Amino acid sequence: MKKIFCLSYVLSRRLELLREVGRLQESLGVPGDVSYTCETAGHFFLYQVMSRWEEYMSKVKVKGSKPSEVANICNFFPFHQYFTNAPQPIFKGRSYTEDM
């Protein structure tokens, strides 16, 4: 019975996470059905999410001894629409260290 419960939980969690992938896809305006399987979700993460994250990090990283402008941390963030259901504000705008 315990194995059945564990399997049921894993399958339920998988569907929940794939729904979140679909929500992220929609918020980024990416066409297609990337939330159909875990494999397609993995490709979506690699080619859509990571590329946006790496571009964001390159824009806000510390250059030399001078950190990026605090406002840039929020302005360049590519996932605002996805995080509309998160506690707000995501970025406080007080310091680079706090927001990063």
pLDDT digits (tens, 9 = 90+) for 13-50: 999 999 999 999 999 999 999 999 999 999 999 999 99
Instruction: Quote the domain boundaries for residue 40.
Output: 3-98
pLDDT at position 64, please?
72
Q: What distances in angstroms separate CA 94 from CA 15, 19, 69, 72, 78, one per listed residue?
A: 38, 34, 11, 12, 20
**Is the pLDDT score of 5 beyond 90?**
no
pLDDT at position 1, please?
66
Number of domains in the chain: 1
